[in-house]
Structure formats: structure tokens, C-alpha cells
């Protein structure tokens, strides 16, 4: 009888900055892993956007949080299961070893050391009767800053309460009920969390926020609170994909990119890491009158089907080789979920979210308008590396 290992991936984000980069790893290793992370971010986005459950809905998630969770799991994977995890995460196993992944992600997680406003890490909840491989826990603690706790999964209500309190504390209450039903056969939960809080470098004035209309589609409009600011912004018009990009910096080393496409389907199909690099290079400061809706959203995804479609199949069935976690028990992953939350207002952004953009340019105006009044995409990125912490799409700011 196989024992169930449940993988939970969660993120509560607030836009804010992290500290300086740490040295000690080769540039090549960092480059390969960083490149893989970015490719994974967009591959996962496309799978989520295409899923029938997500049609017509906002999408928001943290590819960084998902990558960390799966990389932590890969520490205990062997054989084909391990190869599938690395490949699914976007890593070329001929160029990147597990140790490379561990060391580079450890370096990225350390960026929080110089900031009191960002928190990310992992946690493992073990059943009292389960003794995992000591080397597995050693590597998780060393590289992924994993908190390890023992619970009695036979007492499902108490175990769920313990996990939920931990998650709520780490996400400052943004995610307060991750677990509702527990399988008493579960022997381990692995959690990855990220909390990111950011204040705009140049906040919006509350008195300028007015009620306005947001066009969900040709048949539906909703009323939103639209923030407004006239100033000089970093803007780029990508003619190749007919999308206007606005960068709103936080008072840190992070920014939010708002992408306003003429056609969302084209943007979703074409967007890739090279676009982010191009936009960062060619953005120019221009004076605009911008309009951005306030919103607060939460998202909840089951990732089992999506990750299976991305090639990570073995870990979910009897082909799973997780012998690095426990050589004495046959383990498999029974489920993987991701929860995220995002609040955007005049002061800044808190948690995780995505927004659809609309643009209006009127030649008669001295200052052109850029109005996010229809579906748009958004990213939260690190300025120096273009690393993607959060990625999403806002279809309707009110849901």
C-alpha cells in the first residue's frame, strides 16, 4: 500500500523589494536555473489559462513559489521521476544538476535576508509515525530553509488546524484556510510559501480615484474604482504583439509590469522570457495620464492535471520514485495545489494578482492616456534579473 504525500504550494504576495545578490555560485549555473524558471513561468501560465476550469476567470499565481516547491520535492526524487521534475521545471539535466538547483534556489531565497517585508520558504509536516531519510530533511533545511513539524494525521481536524495556523502566520493572514479536508492516510505535507509586500515608489492620490467602467468583454461591463495619476512613466509599445507595457516601480528592487494588449489571445500565445528582456532594455520615460483599477482577488488551483500535462507524470502514480524521501516506504504525490492573493490600491500591492490592460491614445490631448479598462496581464519582477515572482491576467477586477 502506497503512502500519500500531499504537496501544497501557496503564495501570498505584496509588491516590495528584496536584498542584494549573494555570490558563491557560478554564473553559468545561475543563468541556466534562472532561464529555466522563466520558461517554466510561461509554460505554467499557458496551461492554467487553457484549462476549462479557468475560462473567463482571473489568473494569478507565483511561478517562483511553485518552482521552489517542486525543486524541494525533487531533492527526494530518483530515476525517471527526478528527470521529469527537472525537465518540467525547465532545467536541462545535461547542464544542471540537483546540487546546482539547490544552491541557486538557496541563493534566491536568501534575498529576503535584507528585507523585513518579504518572506519565503518551505515547510514539511510529518506524521508522527513517519521517519523520512535524514539526508532529505538535511538538504531541505540547508537549501530551502524548511521548517519541520510533526503532526498526527489520524486526527485530521487537529492536523489541518496546525497547518492552517502556520500558513496564516507566514502569509500575514492572506491565506488562512489552506486545508479543509485531510486524508488520514497522508504521511507528509510539503508547503512552499511567499509573502511579498510592496509600496509604490510614487503612490496614487486617493482623492483622484473615481468610479469608472471596466469592459470584461463585448457583452459585459463592471463598475470599478479607477486610480489615476499623471506623471512620467517607463512605457514601451511592442508592435510585434500589439501590446503596450507600463512599468510601475515599488520603492525597492521590484516592479509591476502591466501589459495592455490589443488582443489578449495573441499576447498569451506569444509572450516569452525574451519579451521581458526586450521591454526592460527599450522602455522609455514618457509623460502619460494613466488609469489603473483597484482590486483584490484570490485564486486557488489544483495543479495535478496541469503538472501531468507538463510531463511530471510519474510522481502522481505507482511509478513514483521518491525513495530519497524514504527508502522504506513506497510514496507518491496525491495532490498539488496553489493558492495566491493580491490586493492593489493607491499605496501599493499586497499578495498575488494579474490585471488586463486597455489603452487609449487621443492625439488632441497634450498628455496621452493609458487606461487599464479591459483585460490585461501583469507581472511582478525583480529589476536586476527580470526574475518573475508573480504572473497573471485580470479579466474582471471585481471577482
Convert the pLDDT of each residue in 293-312 to its tens digit.
998 888 888 888 999 999 99
Start-end of CATH 3.30.497.10 domains in the chain: 3-199+297-342
Start-end of CATH 2.30.39.10 domains in the chain: 206-293+353-394
Q: Write down the pTM of the prediction.
A: 0.86
pLDDT of residue 50: 92
pLDDT of residue 337: 78
CB contact at 8 A, 390 and 381:
no
Copy the grid coordinates of residue 298. 484570490
Q: DSSP class of residue 395?
A: S
pLDDT of residue 368: 85
Q: What's the mean pLDDT when you consider all of the chain?
A: 82
Chain-centroid distance, C-alpha 55: 19
Copy the grid coordinates of residue 102. 539547490
3 state SS of 214: strand
Alpha-carbon distances of 77 from 73, 315, 323, 331, rounded to whole Å: 7, 8, 6, 10
Fold of 206-293+353-394: Alpha-1-antitrypsin; domain 1 (2.30.39)
Q: What are phi and psi of 72, to 5 degrees?
A: -65, -40
Beta partners for residue 130, in sequence order: none
Listed in order, strand segments (DSSP E) in 200-306 are: 210-217, 220-238, 243-249, 254-261, 284-293, 295-302
Q: From CA 127, how far away is CA 6, in angstroms rounded?
A: 12
CATH for 3-199+297-342 (3.40.190.10, 3.30.497.10, 2.40.50.140, 2.102.10.10): 3.30.497.10
Intervals of the chain under pLDDT 50: 1-25, 350-365
pLDDT of residue 181: 74
pLDDT of residue 153: 83
Amino acid at each position: 500500500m502506497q503512502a500519500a504525500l500531499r504537496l501544497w504550494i501557496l503564495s501570498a504576495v505584496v509588491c516590495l523589494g528584496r536584498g542584494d545578490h549573494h555570490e558563491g555560485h557560478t554564473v553559468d549555473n545561475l543563468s541556466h536555473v534562472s532561464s529555466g524558471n522563466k520558461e517554466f513561468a510561461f509554460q505554467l501560465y499557458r496551461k492554467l489559462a487553457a484549462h476549462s476550469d479557468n475560462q473567463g476567470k482571473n489568473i494569478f499565481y507565483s511561478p517562483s513559489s511553485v518552482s521552489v516547491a517542486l525543486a524541494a520535492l525533487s531533492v527526494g526524487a530518483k530515476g525517471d521521476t527526478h528527470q521529469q521534475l527537472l525537465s518540467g521545471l525547465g532545467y536541462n539535466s545535461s547542464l544542471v544538476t540537483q546540487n546546482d538547483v539547490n544552491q541557486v534556489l538557496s541563493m534566491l531565497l536568501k534575498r529576503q535576508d535584507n528585507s523585513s517585508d518579504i518572506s519565503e520558504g518551505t515547510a514539511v509536516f510529518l506524521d508522527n509515525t513517519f521517519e523520512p531519510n535524514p539526508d532529505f530533511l538535511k538538504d531541505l533545511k540547508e537549501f530551502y530553509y524548511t521548517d519541520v513539524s510533526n503532526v498526527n494525521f489520524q486526527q485530521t481536524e487537529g492536523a489541518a488546524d496546525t497547518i492552517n495556523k502556520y500558513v496564516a502566520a507566514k502569509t500575514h493572514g492572506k491565506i488562512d484556510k489552506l486545508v479543509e479536508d485531510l486524508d488520514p492516510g497522508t504521511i507528509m505535507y510539503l508547503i512552499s510559501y511567499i509573502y511579498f509586500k510592496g509600496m509604490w515608489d510614487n503612490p496614487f492620490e486617493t482623492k483622484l480615484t473615481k468610479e469608472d467602467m471596466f469592459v470584461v468583454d463585448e457583452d459585459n461591463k463592471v463598475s470599478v474604482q479607477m486610480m489615476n495619476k499623471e506623471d512620467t512613466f517607463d512605457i514601451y509599445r511592442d508592435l510585434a504583439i500589439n501590446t503596450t507595457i507600463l512599468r510601475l516601480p515599488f520603492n525597492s528592487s521590484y516592479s509591476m509590469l502591466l501589459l495592455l494588449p490589443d488582443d489578449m489571445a495573441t499576447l498569451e500565445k506569444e509572450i516569452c522570457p525574451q519579451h521581458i528582456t526586450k521591454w526592460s532594455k527599450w522602455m522609455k520615460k514618457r509623460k502619460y495620464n494613466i488609469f489603473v483599477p483597484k482590486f483584490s482577488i484570490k485564486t486557488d488551483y489544483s495543479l495535478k492535471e496541469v503538472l501531468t500535462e507538463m510531463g511530471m507524470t510519474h510522481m502522481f502514480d505507482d511509478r513514483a520514485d521518491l525513495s530519497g524521501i524514504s527508502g522504506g516506504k513506497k510514496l507518491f504525490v496525491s495532490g498539488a495545489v496553489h493558492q495566491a492573493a493580491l490586493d492593489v490600491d493607491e499605496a501599493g500591492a499586497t499578495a498575488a494578482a494579474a490585471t488586463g490592460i486597455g489603452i487609449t491614445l487621443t492625439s488632441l490631448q497634450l498628455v496621452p492616456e493609458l487606461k487599464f479598462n479591459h483585460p490585461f496581464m501583469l507581472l511582478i519582477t525583480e529589476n536586476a534579473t527580470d526574475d518573475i515572482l508573480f504572473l497573471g491576467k485580470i479579466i474582471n477586477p471585481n471577482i
